[in-house]
Amino acid sequence: MKSLFEVKAVDRMFYEKHLAGWLPDKIIDIHTHVWLKRFKDRTEPGMKGRTVSWPSMVAAENPVEHLIATYKLMFPGKSVTPLIFTNLTGPKHFDAANDYVSLSSRKHGFPALIFSDPCWAASDLEGRIQKGGFLGIKSYLTMAPAYLPTTEIRIFDFFPHHQMEVMNRHGWIMMLHIPRNDRLRDPVNLAQLLEIEERYPDIKLIVAHVGRAYCPEDIGDSFEILSKTKKMCFDISANTNAETFRQLLETVGPKRVLFGSDLPILRMRTRRICEKGFYINLVPKGLYGDVSGDKHMREVNEHEAARLTFFMYEELAAFRRAAHTVGLNANDVQDVFYNNAQRMLGNGKNRR
């Protein structure tokens, strides 16, 4: 049987040298996508300008079986449990994509989130979560009303208050990919993050990708402001910025940080760099087709390409550097990669 993707000697060496002995044996990945390619609709209105194109170059689909196979290839000797939710889909496939996640959750015993639509009434959201056995919600700025310019979208435009009230009442999980060009340092984002914590204290809030602070310029005074928070958590998915991780750990401590991958895009063979606050994924020439139209992608020569490993390993190595800098011990690492998520997920079943 053909392997899902190639694991090269450079990958095995990197894993054994930098990660295998440092990672705990049991891991929870709090941020993963599963979907089938028949759910995708590239003609969906309102998408233009609200998403980046490069993630779609890594995988056309990620059925749950591919996710399981990925862990076996990337984490030999480890046991990894994912929290799953779907990817962006066209409107006519929205329900089918969520149904597939629910089915996969029941079949494999994986915890799951529903991809929510801000148009749903509070009772509709509540019923869908309970019926599907979900533990909470994930959404995205593409779900905000189409008339809003991308730069003006706010968190509450795709996570409306009537839905937040339901989430708070049940103490459900909310996976938040913040909007706006300034990312984590945006004052509107920061104000609304503080509002969520104060107004909806029982929501289990996860700020994905450490607020998309992929470059040092994305940070600003955000961690000084967020030092006032007590509950919200942050996942490190698809982020390789050790400086962001360092400031995060120094601000909130290791018990509010969660390992997340954003699979399947972490299968990408890449090294991320920043140039004047703009992140660029360095990739082997031709591996992901024509990347000339994506400003976040840059092909490198054959010599440099031969040294590239997985995005997953680059993320983990960057976090390990930050962990070393701030002095995390083995128990702290165990918290980030397993214990914190285990407490948040509980027994993995929806509380009816």
For residue range 313-341, list pLDDT tens digits in order: 999 999 999 999 999 999 999 999 999 99
pLDDT-based confidence at residue 50 (cuts at 50, 70, 90)? confident
Q: Does the structure show a pLDDT above 90 at 349? A: no
Q: Where are the domains of the chain?
A: 9-268+313-343
Give the number of other Cβ atoms within 10 Å of residue 18's Cβ: 16
φ/ψ of residue 122, rounded to 5: -60, -45
Q: Does the structure show a pLDDT above 80 at 348? A: no
Tell me which residue has tokens 């994924």. 281
Residue range 80-91, pLDDT digits in tens: 999 999 998 878
Q: What is the dihedral of CA 28, 235, 270, 328, to 10 degrees?
A: -80
Q: What is the pLDDT of residue 307?
A: 97
pLDDT-based confidence at residue 311 (cuts at 50, 70, 90)? very high
CA dist 29 and 262 (Å) reads 9
Q: Does the structure show a pLDDT above 90 at 144? A: yes
CA dist 111 and 212 (Å) reads 24
Question: What are the residues facing 282 on neighbouring strands?
Answer: 271, 298
Helix (H) or strand (E) holding 335: none
**Residue 336 three-state SS:** helix
pLDDT-based confidence at residue 352 (cuts at 50, 70, 90)? very low
With a CB cutoff of 8 Å and minimum separation 6, the contacts of 49 are: 150
What's the CATH number for 9-268+313-343?
3.20.20.140
**Looking at residues 196-202, what average pLDDT do you find?**
98
**Looking at residues 234-242, what average pLDDT do you find?**
98
